Structure 1
Amino acid sequence: MKTGRRRSVITGIGVLAPGGGGREEFWQRIVGGKPAIRRITAFDPAPFRSQIAAECDFDPARHGLTPQEIRRLDRFALMALACADEAFADSGLDAADPERMGVSLGTAVGSTIRLEEEYVVASNGGRDWMVDAGHVAPFLHHALVPSSAATELAVRFHAQGPAAVISTGCTSGIDAVGHAHALIQDGEADVVIAGASDAPISPITVACFDAIRATSPRNEDPEQASRPFDADRQGFVLGEGAAMMIVEELEHALARDARVYCEITGFAARANAFHMTGLRADGFELGEAIMDAMDQARLAPESLGYISAHGSGTKQNDRHETAAYKRALGLAAYGIPVSSIKSVIGHSLGAIGSIETAACALAIERAVVPPTANLTTRDPECDLDYTPITAREVTVHNALSAGSGFGGFQSAMVLSRLDAT
């Protein structure tokens, strides 16, 4: 099949998310709309305003990771490896030219857990200004540089092509897959292991978001706390997780008769240059990213069958995002099913964009749109079809995944069924 241009497709998916141990458990969880949010168990959250999170019940040994890897690596890197193993197996890719295989890994906060734990040990619980380096783990330098996780992935799969870590806050996951798409288009690689991972549930992270009152204080009812687009929402719920995908050049995939989930047909990113945590009410930059991605995909707004929203559950974000869809898609925005899976699995910072991209790919393959859980009271300013409570059977030829992050990062990706392009 000759196309005249290099096209990128997703041929393998691996996911670790709260409430599930892999891709299929994740899919059943989000389609069922059952939130996996609870009081934090990783540490005592009593001192904090927000004491809830969406935690993964992740045992790295059960995922085949070795004692040496478990000792050497932070939780976020271990989750990335486990997801990449699942994605690689799912792709059916036995082997690839090492020099034509790359890695694109997204993360917002990297080895936060390991760095905090080791500082507590070295400083005697924060009491000593002069720390004794002899008390820290010998692999602490791995935690300092997030690029070490990309190296681990490259070594594991013998990838000798381009390797990078993308860290753009809460859009890191979408941007990492977008970078893989660009590597394929530019001819730099034929296969890219792409996605993102974050394990931010630690005292320092919870304190950071408490300080700006961004997270929900609905501690008495954790499963109801993540309420994107609902009038009673009180902030986002912190989560953790990872998703890795095999992004492959189309003709390379067809030559080996690979199963193709979907094609990446458009990707664009913008920055608002406005405020570190604030958003313009008109949704201008996100709207611009969406229009750019749609133009690349050569799609009219009416062609979209699903939008995976950023949908964090803060009043500012949800209204900004609603305005962006109206700006970019016009009246067609009112007829497109939209949902936020953060209502089920929380907000895993840099990882969530890749998890939501995986959800879009599965929605295209399985003709089901996951719901927005806990959406019971409509916010008049969020007046689109946000697929409340119950999943919907919909034939999805084209899906849009949108992301918005602190720092003003705005990203959009369009995924399409191969026979729709």
Structure 2
Amino acid sequence: MSRRAVITGIGVVAPGGVGRDAFWDVLAAGRSKTRNITLFDPSGFRSRIAAEVDFDPLAAGLTHQEIRRMDRAAQFAVVCAREALAGSGLDLAALDPGLLGVSIGSAVGCTMSLEEEYRVLSDTGRRWLVDHTYGVPHLYEQMVPSTLAVEVARDVGAQGPVSLTSTGCTSGLDAVGHGVHLITEGSAEVVFAGATDAPLSPITSACFDAIKATSPDNDDPEHASRPFDAERRGFVLGEGAAVMVLEEYQAARARGATIYGEIAGYARRSNAFHMTGLKPDGREMAEAIRAALAEARLNPDDIDYINAHGSGTKQNDRHETAAFKHSLGQRAYEVPVSSIKSMVGHSLGAIGSIEVAACALALDRQVVPPTANLHHADPECDLDYVPLTARERQLDSVLSVGSGFGGFQTAMVIRKPSGDRQ
């Protein structure tokens, strides 16, 4: 019998609140959590807004030593893993640690710690040759992105396969997809899979300012993230994490676990075209969607909701609109599509896993989250983008897609297990 991977636990740290329920409340209400940046002084930058997380690591259960050791992104991931574990009902002591895996994604690693350490070692940039004696003992760990996965593995006691996936803005989807493969191939029985990024720092803002990718609507931050809207002016940076417990389906059923959904199809492609540019026809994303549907043994008519990448740039919004039409045909005009980046911003590598969590919760609650701030539809984006207000809808199968710098295109199908579908 073939092995299947299902989600039995969800942990989220996102703008608007820490925890799965706080995250869903933001989405269901259609509330945008973008605001003026408070984590550093953004004066002088073109874009001075972001979707920040109000995160107190002590209140979230971390110790002073853990806080000192871990970058903000690692803190997010560990807190998410603990929530996912608690919600799953798993008894880790009863599991073979050699069959417990971790798959974490991140686009920019320990950005905040590294920038702060450079600031100290270079005396705020005044010294070309930095003084290493001022470095913290954990600087090497901050230099190595895989530390994010190692921290989760250490926290849950995983001695099986542990990995860090970094594929730009599709990292979250790809890390979950890798976790699924570990389950289906039998390398692990349980995998903590997800992604984390805490990129809100001067260096990140400077990079996106340089290419004018982020929104300059500093006077109205709450409405600055406007995917598929004719008046959008770029995406809004965010931060956060989501980690899910993935289990083999039969084992999860046998122990009576709550199953949020089965990850039934996953595929990725690359356009081999341009570091930041996208071909307008969306061919590579369309191919990834077709492949994910084929793996899930579903047809376009089976998809009940599409969680779009929906970054809020004209190039991306039009690219994936074309991809939906090419891959789904007439069904693209009938199925609701929405972008949660309108509410929680674009947390780079983390957003894919946050969106998978949103899809799993949408299946569980039978609600389609809206696209906030969508008041003036782009005539070239002519699908049903669920403006402003969430919808109750029968959902059995949902599609989530991601698009990342470097040409990465990823698609994932999450559905109710066959016995649970309506």
Query: What's the Cα RMSD here?
Result: 0.8
Match of 1:85 among 82, 86, 89: 82
C-alpha displacement of 1:134: 1.1
C-alpha displacement of 1:151: 1.2
Residue 216 of structure 2 is matched in structure 1 by 217
Residue 38 of structure 1 is matched in structure 2 by 35
C-alpha displacement of 1:94: 1.2
Gaps of 5+ in 1: none
Q: Give yes or no for the alignment of 1:196 onto 2:179.
A: no
Listed one character per residue, the Cα deviations across residues 21-64 of structure 1 (whole Å, up to 9, x for unaligned) are 21100000011111001110011101100000000001111111
Distance in 2 (alpha carbons) for counterparts of 1:284 and 1:197: 28
The code of the aligned residue for 1:297 comes to A
Helix, strand or coil: the match of 2:216?
coil
Residue 153 of structure 1 is matched in structure 2 by 152
The code of the aligned residue for 1:49 comes to R
Residue 420 of structure 1 is matched in structure 2 by 421
Residue 366 of structure 2 is matched in structure 1 by 367
Helix, strand or coil: the match of 2:298?
coil
Matches within 5 A, 1:327-338: 327-338=326-337
C-alpha displacement of 1:155: 1.3
Q: Please report the TM-score for the alignment, with normalisation by the length of structure 2.
A: 0.98
Residue 260 of structure 1 is matched in structure 2 by 259
Matches within 5 A, 1:7-26: 7-26=4-23
Residue 320 of structure 1 is matched in structure 2 by 319
The code of the aligned residue for 2:29 comes to G
Residue 356 of structure 1 is matched in structure 2 by 355
Listed one character per residue, the Cα deviations across residues 272-315 of structure 1 (whole Å, up to 9, x for unaligned) are 00000000000000000000000011111111111100000000
Residue 250 of structure 2 is matched in structure 1 by 251
Residue 134 of structure 1 is matched in structure 2 by 133
Listed one character per residue, the Cα deviations across residues 338-369 of structure 1 (whole Å, up to 9, x for unaligned) are 00000000000000000000000000111000
Helix, strand or coil: the match of 2:385?
coil
Distance in 1 (alpha carbons) for counterparts of 2:324 and 2:117: 44
C-alpha displacement of 1:131: 1.2
Distance in 1 (alpha carbons) for counterparts of 2:30 and 2:252: 33
Gaps of 5+ in 2: none
C-alpha displacement of 1:420: 3.1
Matches within 5 A, 1:56-135: 56-95=53-92, 96-135=95-134
C-alpha displacement of 1:146: 0.9
**Farther off after superposition, 57-66 or 222-231:** 57-66
Distance in 2 (alpha carbons) for counterparts of 1:149 and 1:382: 37
Identity percentage of aligned residues: 63
The code of the aligned residue for 2:320 comes to E
Distance in 2 (alpha carbons) for counterparts of 1:127 and 1:410: 41
- Give the aligned length: 418
Distance in 2 (alpha carbons) for counterparts of 1:316 and 1:364: 29
Helix, strand or coil: the match of 1:259?
coil
Helix, strand or coil: the match of 1:14?
strand
Q: Please report the TM-score for the alignment, with normalisation by the length of structure 1.
A: 0.99
Listed one character per residue, the Cα deviations across residues 191-216 of structure 1 (whole Å, up to 9, x for unaligned) are 00000000000000000000000000
Distance in 1 (alpha carbons) for counterparts of 2:52 and 2:150: 26
Listed one character per residue, the Cα deviations across residues 141-177 of structure 1 (whole Å, up to 9, x for unaligned) are 1110011121111111111110000000000000000
Distance in 1 (alpha carbons) for counterparts of 2:298 and 2:7: 19
Q: Give yes or no for the alignment of 1:169 onto 2:156.
A: no
Helix, strand or coil: the match of 2:16?
coil
Distance in 1 (alpha carbons) for counterparts of 2:142 and 2:38: 23
Distance in 2 (alpha carbons) for counterparts of 1:289 and 1:113: 33
The code of the aligned residue for 2:375 comes to T
The code of the aligned residue for 1:137 comes to V
The code of the aligned residue for 2:32 comes to P
C-alpha displacement of 1:252: 1.5
Distance in 1 (alpha carbons) for counterparts of 2:299 and 2:148: 39
The code of the aligned residue for 2:87 comes to D
Residue 272 of structure 1 is matched in structure 2 by 271
Distance in 1 (alpha carbons) for counterparts of 2:343 and 2:116: 28
C-alpha displacement of 1:377: 0.3
Distance in 1 (alpha carbons) for counterparts of 2:153 and 2:142: 17
Q: Give yes or no for the alignment of 1:53 onto 2:50.
A: yes
Distance in 2 (alpha carbons) for counterparts of 1:91 and 1:279: 39
C-alpha displacement of 1:138: 1.0
Helix, strand or coil: the match of 1:364?
helix
Helix, strand or coil: the match of 1:386?
coil
The code of the aligned residue for 1:290 comes to I
Structure 1 segments of 4 or more deviating over 6 A? none
C-alpha displacement of 1:129: 1.0
C-alpha displacement of 1:183: 0.7
Distance in 2 (alpha carbons) for counterparts of 1:149 and 1:232: 37
Distance in 2 (alpha carbons) for counterparts of 1:173 and 1:381: 28
Distance in 2 (alpha carbons) for counterparts of 1:252 and 1:137: 44
Helix, strand or coil: the match of 1:48?
coil
Distance in 2 (alpha carbons) for counterparts of 1:280 and 1:34: 32
Distance in 2 (alpha carbons) for counterparts of 1:19 and 1:360: 18
Q: Give yes or no for the alignment of 1:400 onto 2:392.
A: no
Distance in 2 (alpha carbons) for counterparts of 1:203 and 1:155: 30
Helix, strand or coil: the match of 1:63?
coil
